[in-house]
Amino acid sequence: MSEPKSAGIFARQQIRQLVDEGALLAEPPIEERQLQPASLDLRLGTRCHRVRTGFLPEKCTVQERLDELTLFTFDLHEGAILERGHCYVVPLLESAKLPADVLAQSNPKSSTGRLDIFTRLLADRTDRFETLPAGYEGPLFLEVLPRSFSIRLQTGLCLNQLRFLRGKPELSREELLSVHRETPLLFDDRGEPIRGEAAIQEDGLTMGVALASDEEIGDIIGYRARRYTDVLDMTQDGTHDPLDFCEPIPAPKDGRFIVEPEEFYIFASKERVRVPKELAAVMLPYDVGIGELRTNYAGFFDNGFGDPTGCRAVLEVRPHDVPFLVEDGQAFFRLQFYHSLAVPDRSYGEGGSHYQGQALKLSKHFRTRDQA
């Protein structure tokens, strides 16, 4: 039997153990459905604060800042509407009491990012968003800013997820190259392994954007959020007509497309990626030098994503400042890989997942072509 790793991301069964040991507290208790292969879904609490501005509670508690900035508070038990363009803070049902050698990081869930909902985890007296320092003890809050659609939320819904880390779990370039040589991590748009080392730069796997039609994507290469829509009810899966909220983008003849400032787009990656069951991955911006593009709203890839033959990543893109010409295959983001402390007892896609095997897929709240 191999020795346990000293640095890595906690696997599902280890997160369950953290819960059992009291490192995570919640009322009502944490449910099995919240446990993902390498993360824990966090649930919205019972109250929502409409605040006049976002904030970082570096020198105070979140509640102290809420007492100062809250415009009004409303109940989420029976559901409520959060309006597009307004900032809200929701206390979560979970709180933390982390061990001294365990820190935690948060990111939006896939469905949250694909709806252009900007979220950030807040914790008392912390100087960074989305991060709980090792040994953190206290309540958790979520900043929520719907960017494209007004949304309906309810107590118990999960918009973000939390992963737990010990030590420095990132794979070095040499480690990543070794894994890639043994079993390819990257596949082209025809599903053929990409075995060269050119895609691995620094400590990450570089991937591009797909703007040309192919057999898997078809003739629609992306979607743009409509500006004036009805409320999107996040308590209802598979019910909304995607055309009421998103405008399909046909494949351009020359494989080039201009993304416009402050519009929200959904695209797919050009390549397919495989995340081995003993690893997880995080999407990072490729290089700010290519333009002011946000591409990593919900950028965590659980163990087993795309295993064994690769799966496309879906990109949530919001340009800023100026229009920007993007070409088919252009490098758009990097994946940084992380060791897991153990192989999860249930990998991504086992037991069902809306996004495993995806090509270009909208949020689970929309009807698919089969349901239309």
Write out pLDDT tens, residues 235-248.
Answer: 999 999 999 999 99
Q: For 119-128, 187-196, 220-229, 314-323, which range has the lowest pLDDT when averaged over its residues? A: 187-196
Q: For 86-95, 121-130, 188-197, 228-237, which range has the lowest pLDDT when averaged over its residues? A: 188-197
The Cβ of residue 39 has, within 10 Å, a number of other Cβ atoms equal to: 27
Phi/psi-derived region of residue 342, left when phi > 0, alpha when psi is between -120 and 50, beta in every other case: beta
**Helices vs. strands in the chain: H and E counts, helices first:** 4, 27
Model pLDDT, residue 145: 97
pTM check: above 0.85: yes
Question: Looking at the chain, how many residues does it have?
Answer: 372
The more confidently predicted of residues 203 and 73 is 73
- What CA–CA distances, in Å, run from 319 to 84, 203, 288? 18, 25, 12
Q: Tens of pLDDT along 9-63?
A: 999 999 999 999 999 999 999 999 999 999 999 999 999 999 999 999 999 999 9
**Inter-residue contact 138 to 95 (CB < 8 Å):** yes
Model pLDDT, residue 293: 57
Instruction: Judge whether residue 349 has pLDDT over 90.
Output: no
Instruction: Judge whether residue 195 has pLDDT over 90.
Output: no
Maximum Cα–Cα distance across the chain: 58
Domain ranges of the chain: 8-166, 173-339
First to last CA, the chain: 50
The more confidently predicted of residues 199 and 335 is 335
DSSP state of 290: G
Average of per-residue pLDDT across 150-176 = 95
Model pLDDT, residue 64: 98
Model pLDDT, residue 299: 79
Q: 280 Cβ partners below 8 Å, 6+ apart?
A: 9, 37, 38, 163, 300, 301, 302, 303, 337, 338, 340
Q: Say how many CA atoms lie within 13 Å of 244 toward its Cβ.
A: 13
Instruction: Judge whether residue 332 has pLDDT over 90.
Output: no
The more confidently predicted of residues 154 and 354 is 154
Q: 67 Cβ partners below 8 Å, 6+ apart?
A: none
Instruction: Judge whether residue 3 has pLDDT over 50.
Output: no
Average of per-residue pLDDT across 275-287 = 85
Model pLDDT, residue 5: 66
Model pLDDT, residue 226: 97
Phi/psi-derived region of residue 99, left when phi > 0, alpha when psi is between -120 and 50, beta in every other case: beta
By percentage, how much of the chain surpasses pLDDT 70? 92
Instruction: Judge whether residue 6 has pLDDT over 90.
Output: no
- Looking at domain 8-166, its CATH superfamily turns out to be Deoxyuridine triphosphatase (dUTPase) (2.70.40.10)
pLDDT bin (cut points 50, 70, 90) of residue 347 is confident
Q: Say how many CA atoms lie within 13 Å of 161 toward its Cβ.
A: 25
Q: What CATH code is assigned to 173-339?
A: 2.70.40.10
Average of per-residue pLDDT across 176-204 = 84
Average of per-residue pLDDT across 214-229 = 93
pLDDT bin (cut points 50, 70, 90) of residue 370 is very low
pLDDT bin (cut points 50, 70, 90) of residue 295 is low
Enclosing H/E stretch for 175: helix 173-182
Instruction: Judge whether residue 363 has pLDDT over 70.
Output: yes
Model pLDDT, residue 356: 52
